A = this chain, B = another copy of it.
C-alpha cells in the first residue's frame, strides 16, 4: 500500500474500511505488528496512505474482533498473547468448532468433504520438510473452511477467534511436527464424520480436537511463566 490507492485501483468496490481492517489484521497475524505493541493513528494512516477517518473505523472493528484493545485517550495496542488469555479463547473455540463441524455434517453436501480433504492434503504437504509457517496457515485454512461451510452467518463472524488462537498466539502455542501430525489425524477423523453425515460425532471430534490442545497447553501453565 502507501501509494497504490491514490491513482491506481480503478474498481476496488470493497470499502476502504474493510480493506484497512484486512491489511492491519493480516499484519498482526503475520507478527509484523507484534503483540502488545501500540498502533498510532497518525503513524498508521501515514503508513497506509489513508486519512484517519476510515482508519479509526477499522481500528474499531479490530477492537470488536478482539485483535486489538483501544484504550480511550491512550491508543490501540495489539492484544497481548499470554497463556491464560489464550486458554480462554480456546475454550470458546472448542464449542465454536464443534458446532461448525456438526452443521457441516448435517448439511450432508459431498462437496464439503472433498474441499476439506484437499485442505488436509495441503496440511500434510507442510510436514515433510517441516514448515511451521505454512503449517500454521494450512491449519487456519482448514478450520476456516469448516466455519464457512456451516453457512451460518453468525458462526462465520467468529472467524476472528480462530486466527487469534492459531496465528496471533502462535509463539505461545507453538507446536512441533509431531503435534502437527496428530492434529492432522484428528482433522481427518472430523472430515470422516462429516462425510458420513454424522453430526454428533463430527461435533464431538472437532471439540475434542481443540480440547486436546487446551489440555496440552494447561500442562505448561506452571512450567512456563507468562512471557512479557
Q: Which positions in A face B, CB cutoff 8 Å?
A: 13-15, 17, 53, 56-57, 60-61, 64-66, 72, 85, 88-89, 91-92, 94-96, 98-99, 103, 152-155, 157-158, 161
If over half of A's interface residues share one DSSP class (helix, strand or loop), that class is named, otherwise mixed; here it is: helix
Copies of this protein in the assembly total 2
Contacts of A17 in B (CB 8 A): 60
Contacts of A72 in B (CB 8 A): 13-15
**Contact B95–A99 (Cβ < 8 Å):** yes
Count chain B CB atoms within 10 A of each CB in A15, A85, A92 and give the residue with the most: A92
Contacts of A103 in B (CB 8 A): 91
Selected from B64, B98, B99, B154, the residue in CB contact (under 8 A) with A61 is B64
Nearest-neighbor residue (CB-CB) of A103 within chain B: B91
CA distance A61 to B58 in the complex (A): 10
Given contacts A65-B64, A95-B95, A99-B95, contact A89 B154 (CB under 8 A): yes
CA distance A13 to B72 in the complex (A): 9
CA distance A60 to B53 in the complex (A): 12
Nearest-neighbor residue (CB-CB) of A17 within chain B: B60
Given contacts A64-B64, A98-B95, contact A88 B57 (CB under 8 A): no
**Contact B92–A154 (Cβ < 8 Å):** yes
Contacts of A88 in B (CB 8 A): 152-155
